[in-house]
Amino acid sequence: MPELMDAPVCLVLRYFTVGGLERVVSLLANELVARGVSVRVVVLGTSRRNALITELDDAVETHVLDGPWVLRLRRLQSLSKGHVVHLHFGDGKIYPSVRWALRNHPKLVITYHSVYRHIRSRSANRIDRFASRRCSNVVAVSTAVARYCTDEVGLSPGLITVVNNAIPDSPVPVFEHTRGPGLWLIDLAGIQPHKNHVTIVRGLAILRGRGHDVRLRIIGDGPEVADLFRIASDLGVAAQVDWYGAVWRREIVASLLRTSDIFVSASRFEGTPLTALEAMQASLPLVLSDIPAHRETSDGAASFFPADDAEQFAARVEELLDADVRARRGRDALERLSHFSVERFATGYLQVYHSPARTNGRRLDSQQHAERRPFQRSSARVASGQAPRT
């Protein structure tokens, strides 16, 4: 198979909506062009929210396709010719027709951005496994995601490289946001079932019931908003929740984080959670659901609770009522962020693009790289359900 060692890169998405996957693609595209790589972004269709596409650098060539699906696939074949093709599909979708259209491409890379067991069936995993036979390399954004790819999708460990996500480290424009009195928690995530905001709201009610002046900011939108608002109202805490909806501009998000006290998440599934990285950047202490991706990302710089246990969540927040304790844990979080640098992120992907294709789980050469980590399954960790530390 010929290798496109110095070829331009074509990043392919189904939509360019406002979400974590799209933020990862924006950062990757912008970092690649900053390093002199020619980058083309192909979006296979528009969504209801498309504002995040404006974050792409002017040097990134962008194509948003429309018309009949078969014509979009033909256009994709034309636009991807001569490029390293890198697929980014969210929500566990496979899009076999896209894979088929690119089946003869000499360099096809796929990134798995999360664990999809909550929305994937076994038959879908079998289709994914079959469709991935022709890809050159698979990137998992965390060890937890790599383990999902091997243990549930059935991909060979030798096909997979772990490249952790990152967040921009450039200065953020100043945007000042005021806050009221009390202890402010912040949950930054799309309001989807697996993000499990209800545990946070129930925990807020418990904390206030114990006499703590605790308030909550929820930054995100999604299909669960109405039900979540009803639950907050039933628990008598709706007035103690600030509902911001979908906010994506960095300076606004950074201000909200900077003027909060504790970052919280009860998510059941994650890849490398960007919002936790942003909280680390803001030196916030973290109270996170005890899932492998959160353990892997924050290591010892967070407090953990079972995802559906509001009592334990409240207890972890109570451990951070003292300002000195919060400051110390915030410093721990900021120190941990150094493991997720933009340099490692961009270099890791460039090494994947330039590496030989993998076949039958074996490298076609023996070259090893420090920044990109070929995935090796650890049976002890898998059995215990814990993520290997990075």
Task: Outline where DSSP puts E strands in the chain.
Answer: 9-13, 39-43, 61-64, 84-88, 108-112, 137-140, 160-162, 183-188, 214-219, 241-245, 262-265, 286-289, 303-305, 358-359, 362-363, 373-374
Give the amino acid at 258.
R
Q: CA 333, 298, 168, 190: dihedral to nearest 10 degrees?
A: -110
So what's the pLDDT on residue 237? Answer: 95
What is the pLDDT, as a whole number, of residue 388? 35
Cβ(181)–Cβ(361) under 8 Å?
A: no
For residue 220, the cross-strand partners are 245
Tokens of 184: 């402010």
Q: Which domains does the chain have, with CATH numbers?
A: 9-166+341-384 (3.40.50.2000), 183-339 (3.40.50.2000)
pLDDT of residue 5: 52
Cα gap 138→282, rounded to integer Å: 31
Q: Which residue bears the tokens 């991935």?
A: 132
Q: Which of 227, 302, 313 is nearest to 266 (CA)?
A: 313
Q: What is the DSSP letter of 220?
A: B
Mean pLDDT by 10 residues, the chain (390 residues): 68 91 95 96 85 86 94 97 95 92 94 93 94 92 96 95 93 77 94 95 98 96 88 93 88 94 97 95 97 93 97 98 97 95 95 76 37 54 35
